[in-house]
Structure 1
Amino acid sequence: MSSDPWGRVDETGTVYVRTADGEQVVGSWQAGSPDEALAYFERKYEGLVVEIGLLEKRVKTTDLSAKDAQTAIDHIREQVDAHHAVGDLEALKKRLDKLVETVDARREERKVQRAKQSDEARHSKEALVVEAEELAQSDQWRAAGERLRSLVDTWKGLPRLDRKSDDELWHRFSHARSAFSKRRKAHFASLDAQREDARKTKEKLVAEAESLSASADWGPTAARYRELMADWKAAGRAQREHEDDLWNRFRGAQDVFFAARSSVFAERDAEQSENLKLKEELAEEAEKLVPVQDLKAARAAFRSLNERWEAIGHVPRDARPKVEGRMHAVERALQESEEAEWRRTNPEARARAEGLTGQLQAAVDKLQGQIETARAAGNASRADKLQKELEGRQALLDQALKGLQEFGG
């Protein structure tokens, strides 16, 4: 018979293990000595110790699921409960019980964690839905479209919720994307229609611009080109593949016209600059007629100068007021001389001037007599009053005499 602290082998070869409930039969051993029997079942015990140790490590250091862990625990517990090993089986049971507690705690932690993750996922998906619904109303087609695609990728990376909640949120999310796509499609369809209208309009503008490129009617044609340019801008853009070609044709037609006009204007400017020199010479010659000495001769000379002036032609627009102003000044001087001569030789005007002068002279003489009479009578105040009236009449008389002198005395 052989034994150790946790088991023994009797004379019949039966192996026992000692437990809190008393000895339990482990098995029967007939193949060798009792010591070999104990050693065999002790090795089975060590195997269980190793197996439990490995399971404890897996539970602590890996993401082994609670279900798989519990299955492994139950498997080992069946072996322990079957008493097919010699050793401290109660210690193994306690380790298994403690491991169950650890797994249960881990299960609760993961349950809480999953609930937290689910709550976070719900909030994240709700935020994605709200943003998608806002983007569905955006007119920033490129940026909003790229952002919506980014939101889809973000959605795919989030955990699923319960089926009902996930389906409801996805339906809203998908509807927002569809609404945006529908609006964008309608927008670009409308834009395509507008661009097609713009293309047709611009083709007409190009045709007219090309028909005008050979025109020599400079003013009206240039004005029409300005109108065509305004119409071009108002027409909007055509499709990209047509816009540049149409613009090059439109601009090219204008360039042909304005290049021809510039050439003609350059020649005209050179001619007008020469005309300006000639007119400045005539103006300088005309200015020598002032002050007028011989009105008749001056008038004849100015008439001759004016005929030569008219024959010269146009001068540059910006120089015209100054040079014409010089001739007008001479013409005004001649007119003033004519008016003065007319006044001097007009009998009716002379008679009126002489009559007015005689009346004023008589009034002055009368006032002088009245003043002398008043002073002789000692009436100084009347004399002073009459004196002031005399001064006014005398001033009028002086003016009348000066006017009379213009008629030759």
Structure 2
Amino acid sequence: MSSDPWGRVDETGTVYVRTADGEKVVGSWQAGSPEEALAYFERKYEGLVVEIGLLEKRVQTTDLSAKDAQAAVDHLREQVDAHHAVGDLDALRARLDKLMETVEARREQRKAQRARQSDEARTAKEALVAEAEELARSDQWRAAGERLRALVDTWKGLPRLDRKSDDELWHRFSHARSAFSKRRKAHFAQLDAQREEARKAKERLVAEAEALSGSTDWGPTAARYRELMADWKAVGRAQREYEDDLWNRFRGAQDVFFAARSSVFAERDAEQAENLKLKEGLAEEAEKLLPITDLRAARTAFRSINERWEAIGHVPRDARARVEGRMHTVDRAIQEAEEAEWRRTNPEARARAEGLTGQLQAAVDKLRGQIEQARAAGNNAKADKLEKELEGRQALLDQALKGLQEFGG
């Protein structure tokens, strides 16, 4: 009979292992000496030691799931409980028990992490829904449409919630987008209808202007052209693909008439030359308003200049585009300044900026409080992790505050 501290072989070749519950039969050995039998089953024990060591390392150093880790532990435990090895099996059971505690702790940690991520995703999706519902009421069709498309991309990047909550939030989000699309479609349908009416009206104005272009009844015809011009301005714009052509025909018909009148009344050339000098003076006066520093004063001054301009009368045809272009440049600069002022003072955009800034500030304050609590509790690892998260939120807050300053606040 042969033995060692953890096992023995009796006269019949039966191999036993010693455990806390007494001796357990390992197996039967008839192929060699008792020492060879013990050595064989001790090697099987060492194999289990290696496997358990490798599993411990995987659990500690990789993202092995709790489910897979538990299956591996159960598999090794079955081998240990089968008592087909000679060695300290109770120690192996203890290591497996400790490893299982680690796996359970990891499971709970990941469960808490998933819950936290779910809460963050819920908060983020609720914020997206709130913004989408606000945008659904906007009349800034292009900007709001682009922002809604960006919100969809953001939504797709967020993890799903439980099915009921996710479906409810998505329904609100989708409904807001649909409402905006419906309003935008109705707006542009109405705009298209208005432009179609404008096209038909301008077609009639062009037809009359072209019919009058050959008239030699200078006074009444010129007066009628002025009326047609007033009607043209009152009608509004037609579709882009028609507007320029209609205007060229309308203006061309007038040019034909006024050119003929000018050739007949050559003495008026001097008057038009004087008109050109006056308009060049007004154009120079208008150009002094640039760059725009006081929008209200510039608008008032330009209105006065334009009224005097309109009262002057015609200028030589070859100089008209040049001098009118100078006035148009100033007019465009004032319009661009008005648009910039409107964008800067837009209450909807400011409200969105303030709302985002407030949310980010609250998130930063909350994180700082959590960091203080973690430090006070001696949980520096958690505090360090929260501080990294705080850095990202603080950067977003700084960016939001910078954007808010563009509104003057």
Q: Which residue of 2 aligns with 1:59?
A: 59
Counterpart CA distance in 2 for 1:125 and 1:269 is: 71
Matched residues, percent identical? 90
Taking the aligned partners of 1:270 and 1:60, their CA distance within structure 2 comes to 98
Task: Give the aligned partner of residue 162 of structure 2.
Answer: 162
The amino acid that maps onto 2:173 is: F
How is 1:175-186 mapped onto 2 (pairs within 5 angstroms)?
175-186=175-186
Per the alignment, in what secondary structure is the counterpart of residue 266 of structure 1?
coil
Deviations 1:69-91 (A, max 9, x none): 11211111111111111112122
Residue of structure 2 in register with 1:292 after alignment: none
Give the superposition deviation at 1:218.
2.6
Q: Is 1:259 aligned to residue 259 of structure 2?
A: yes
Write the letter of the residue equivalent to 1:93.
Answer: R
Aligned residue pairs, count: 271
Show CA shifts across 1:317-344 (max 9, x none). Answer: xxxxxxxxxxxxxxxxxxxxxxxxxxxx
Distance 1:151 1:270, change over 3 A: closer
CA distance in 2, matches of 1:229, 1:130: 48
CA distance in 1, matches of 2:154, 2:227: 54
Q: Deviations over 1:63-118 (max 9, x none)?
A: 22212211211111111111111112122111111111111111111111111111
Report Cα offsets for 1:279-324 as digits up to 9, x if no partner.
xxxxxxxxxxxxxxxxxxxxxxxxxxxxxxxxxxxxxxxxxxxxxx
- SS of residue in 1 equivalent to 2:265: helix
Partner of 2:46: 46
What is the 5 A alignment of 1:134-213? 134-213=134-213
For 1:70 and 1:269, the matched residues in 2 are separated by 102
Q: Which residue of structure 2 aligns with residue 400 of structure 1?
A: none
Letter in 1 for 2:249: R
CA distance in 2, matches of 1:49, 1:192: 80
Q: Which consecutive unaligned segments of at least 5 residues does structure 1 have?
A: 272-409
Cα distance change on mapping 1:269 and 1:142 into 2, 3 Å: closer
State the AA in 1 paired with 2:147: R
DSSP 3-state at the match of 1:231: helix
TM-score w.r.t. length of structure 2: 0.63
Q: Which amino acid aligns with 2:140?
A: Q
Say whether residues 1:230 and 2:236 are aligned partners.
Answer: no
Q: Distance in 2 between matches of 1:28 and 1:270?
A: 131
- Highest Rg: 1 or 2? 1
Give the Cα–Cα distance (whole angstroms) in 2 for the partners of residues 124 and 25 of structure 1: 61
Superposed counterparts of 1:6-405, under 5 Å: 6-267=6-267
**Which amino acid in structure 2 is aligned with residue 92 of structure 1?**
L
Q: Which AA in structure 2 matches 1:225?
A: Y
Q: For 1:176 and 1:166, locate their aligned partners in 2 and report how far apart those are by CA, in whole Å.
A: 15
Q: Which runs of 4+ in 1 moved over 6 A?
A: none
How many Å apart are 1:267 and its aligned residue? 4.3
Q: What value does the CA root-mean-square deviation take over the aligned residues? A: 1.8
Which amino acid in the other structure matches residue 141 of structure 2? W
Distance in structure 2 (CA, Å) of the matches to 1:77 and 1:202: 91
Q: Distance in 1 between matches of 2:270 and 2:172?
A: 77
Measure how far apart 1:222 and its partner are.
2.3
Contact 2:17 2:83 in 1 (8 A): yes
Q: Which residue matches 1:368?
A: none
Q: Secondary structure at the match of 2:69?
A: helix
TM-score w.r.t. length of structure 1: 0.63
Q: Deviations over 1:167-192 (max 9, x none)?
A: 21111111111111111111111111
Instruction: Indicate the SS of the match to 2:266.
Output: helix
Deviation larger for 218-227 or 130-139: 218-227
1:115-169 per-position Cα deviation (integer Å, ceiling 9, x unaligned)? 1111111111100110010111111112211211111121122111122211211
* SS in structure 1 at match of 2:12: coil
Separation in structure 2 between the aligned mates of residue 109 and residue 44 of structure 1, nearest angstrom: 35
Query: What residue identity is the alignment partner of 2:203?
Result: E
Cα gap change, 1:5 to 1:96, in 2 (>3 Å): same
46-55 or 131-140, which deviates more: 46-55
Taking the aligned partners of 1:163 and 1:110, their CA distance within structure 2 comes to 20
1:220/1:61 CA distance change after superposition, 3 Å: farther
Name the counterpart of 1:5: 5
Change (3 A) 1:97 1:268: closer
Deviation (angstroms), 1:34: 2.0
Return the offset for 1:28.
Answer: 0.7
Distance 2:119 2:125 in 1: 10
Change (3 A) 1:156 1:223: same
Q: Is the 8 A contact 2:262 2:269 kept in 1?
A: no
1:135–1:94 Cα change, 3 Å: same
Gaps of 5+ in 2: 272-409
Alignment match, 1:406: none
d(CA) in 1 for partners of 2:261, 2:203: 24
Structure 1 residue 270: Cα displacement: 7.2
